[in-house]
Amino acid sequence: MEIPFSIDAGRVRLRHLRPTDLPIFAAYRADPAVCRFQGFDPFGLVEARDFIAQYAAAPIPAAPGEWVQIAIARSADDQLLGDCALHLQAHEPRIAEVGITLAPRWQGQGYASEALQALLKFCFEELALHRVVALVDPRNQPSVALMERVGMRREGHFRQNGWYKGEWCDEYQYALLAADWAAAG
């Protein structure tokens, strides 16, 4: 029997998405402000339900080349706060990309920092990854600040690097090496 994925980290818990998360998940994933700088468009209820079903029992991490979404819940009561993504590169599975989405109600309170630090710890200390990267739209200043707050280094500014929501957008690439994680620990 497989043990359910769960990481407790201060005020947050990383765990699988659950069907009971649907109302909260669907609400923030339908919010155009939440989706503005993300690679996804606003979700409908059916799409949100199907998304949760897809990831509710998915292996964490997923197979190299595949993404997996992980719930960010409040430790005190297991309420969904948002979700984070983890993707091991297909051509080099010792390198991962991460992402994070938080419901507006929980933004600006340190939950994203705690969740991202827990995910980085999992990546470096449990999965023994070499490098973790994150792509951020430079206009998304709260995410830029988040990446820098958790110790990720901006390594590049890629001009008009992606076509998102009808326009060419710049991307910052942030990264953290296992050696830097260990040195900061």
Per-residue pLDDT of the chain (185 residues; tens, 9 = 90+): 355 789 999 999 999 999 999 999 999 999 999 988 888 889 899 999 999 999 998 999 999 999 999 999 999 999 999 999 999 999 999 999 999 999 999 999 999 999 999 999 999 999 999 999 999 999 999 999 999 999 999 999 999 998 888 889 999 999 999 999 999 87
Kindly give, in sequence order, each residue whose CB lies less than 8 Å from that of residue 179, ignoring residues fewer than 6 positions away: none
Quick one: pLDDT at residue 98? 98
Domain ranges (residues) in the chain: 6-133
| pLDDT computed for residue 1 by the predictor | 37
Q: Which of 3.40.630.30, 1.25.10.10, 3.30.465.10, 3.90.226.30 would CATH assign to domain 6-133?
A: 3.40.630.30
Tokens of 134: 């994150």
Cross-strand partners of 9: 12
Q: Angle at the Cα of 3 (from 55 to 89), degrees rounded to 5?
A: 50
Which DSSP symbol is given to 64? T
The candidate with the shortest Cα–Cα distance to 56, out of 90, 20, 92, is 20
